[in-house]
Amino acid sequence: MNSYSSHLLEELVTEFGKLPGIGRRTAVRLALHLLKQDVSRADKLGNAIINLRNGVKYCKRCHNISDNDICFICCDHKRNSAIICVVEDIRDVMAIENTGQFRGIYHVLGGIISPMDGIGPGEINVDSLVLRVENEEVEEVILALPATTEGDTTGFYIFKRLSDKVRSVSVISRGVAIGDELEFADEITLGKSIINRIPYIKS
């Protein structure tokens, strides 16, 4: 049964409903919300979607999302281009940038090795990483990949490909999250955090 009295409304609800985590009820709420806004607000959102998908580029060096051929992180001369942080996707770049703790540059794999999903080493940007390590002055490659089997597999594969080409390959630390009670940490994480304990530096 069709309860929409407007095809334009139905069309938008259908399209909103295809987005992840947005059910029909939320889609209707969003569409009706837009109806109450100024035309310019709706136009801005609509055009932002169209412009992003049509205008987006990926940095030719690090594969991060960018408005230009080379992203603003790679272009920034104040950043240390001798340290490359390898991440799964651009969301991870944003997350690490938000910490404000990293001043090197990135390499976005665009996925991780996952035989279950049919993603092998050839499907992700590893070759271009090897080329960068061979041709740029790289001192350290930091692997900031998911703490999963796939992440570990990908990390180990990259380590094998790079180990004789770069001085240092490191992995971000895993352990009990800041603010977490020990009793709520899972056993594997807690075990890892004991094995990888860090000595206090005597002052």
Residues that bind its own copies (CB under 8 A): 1, 3-9, 11-12, 14-16, 18-22, 26, 28-35, 37, 39, 41-57, 59, 64-67, 71-73, 89-91, 93-95, 97-98, 100
When the beta carbons of 111 and 121 are compared against its own copies, the nearer one is 111
Q: How far is CA 195 from CA 46, 79, 112, 142, 191, in A?
A: 51, 33, 26, 20, 6
Q: Shortest distance, CB of residue 189 to its own copies, whole angstroms?
A: 23
- 162 Cβ contact partners less than 8 Å away, ≥ 6 residues apart: 129, 130, 133, 141, 169
Cα Rg of the chain (Å, integer): 22
In angstroms, give the least distance from the CB of 70 to its own copies: 10
Among residues 12 and 166, whose Cβ is nearest to its own copies?
Answer: 12
Q: Kindly state the smallest distance separating residue 2's Cβ from its own copies, in Å.
A: 8
- What single letter denotes the amino acid at residue 45? L
Instruction: Please identify, using beta-carbon distances, which residue of 45 and 172 lies nearer to its own copies.
Output: 45
User: Which residue in 159, 166, 96 sits closest to 126, CA to CA?
Assistant: 159
Task: Please report how close the Cβ of residue 133 comes to its own copies at its closest, in angstroms.
Answer: 22
Length of the chain: 203
Residue 43 beta carbon to its own copies: minimum distance, rounded to whole angstroms: 6
**Structure tokens given for 167:** 């001085």
Q: Which is nearer to its own copies, 4 or 156 (CB)?
A: 4
Closer by beta carbon to its own copies, 15 or else 136 = 15
**What distance in Å separates the CA atoms of residue 132 and residue 161, rounded to the nearest whole number?**
12
